[in-house]
Amino acid sequence: MLPEENKVSLEESDEMTASFEQAIALGDQRHYYLRLYIAGTTPRSIQSLKNLKLLCETYLQGRYELEVIDVYQSSPELQVDNVVAIPTLVKHLPLPLRQIIGDLSDTEKVLLGLNIVPR
C-alpha cells in the first residue's frame, strides 16, 4: 500500500480518467497526451520546452495535449509519474506509457521514444 502522500486523490484520478476517455472517444488512436516536468526557468528547462513545442508542432500538429509542470510549484504529480530527473517528458497516450529524460534536443531519439517514427 502506498504512503498517504503518494496516493492520487480521487479528483485527480477522475480528471486523468476523463482525459483518457476523451482521447479514446475521439477515435483518433494517434492523439498524444504529454506531460513535461521542468524546474522553473532554468536554461535546460526552457530549452526542453522549446524543443518539445517545435517537435509537437512539426510532427503532431492538432493531435496532442501538452501539460507543463514546474516541480517547484507542483510536486504531487512527480510521485504519480515516478519522475526522478528533470526535465522529463512523460507520454501517457497513446499507450504504452513512456518517459524521456533530458532537454529533448535529439529529435530522432525523442521521435522513437514517442513511437512517432517506425523503428
Residue-number span of the structural domain to which 100 is assigned: 29-113
Domain count, the chain: 1
Which cell goes with 91?
A: 507520454
pLDDT of residue 9: 66
Residue 118 falls inside a structural domain: no
- CATH code of the domain in which 61 resides: 3.40.30.10
The Cα–Cα gap between 13 and 16 comes to 5
CA angle 100, 104, 106 (to 5 degrees): 105
Residue 93 falls inside a structural domain: yes
Partnered with residue 33 across adjacent β-strands are: 65, 93
Residue pair 70/39 in contact (Cβ under 8 Å)? The answer is: yes
Residue 51 falls inside a structural domain: yes
pLDDT of residue 19: 59
pTM of the predicted model, to two decimals? Answer: 0.72
Residue 61 falls inside a structural domain: yes
Q: List helix spans (H) across the chain.
A: 10-25, 43-59, 76-80, 107-113
Residue 80 falls inside a structural domain: yes
> Per residue of the chain (119 residues), what is the pLDDT tens digit?
444 544 556 776 677 666 555 544 544 457 999 999 999 999 999 999 999 999 999 999 999 999 999 998 876 776 788 888 999 999 999 999 999 999 999 999 999 999 886 43
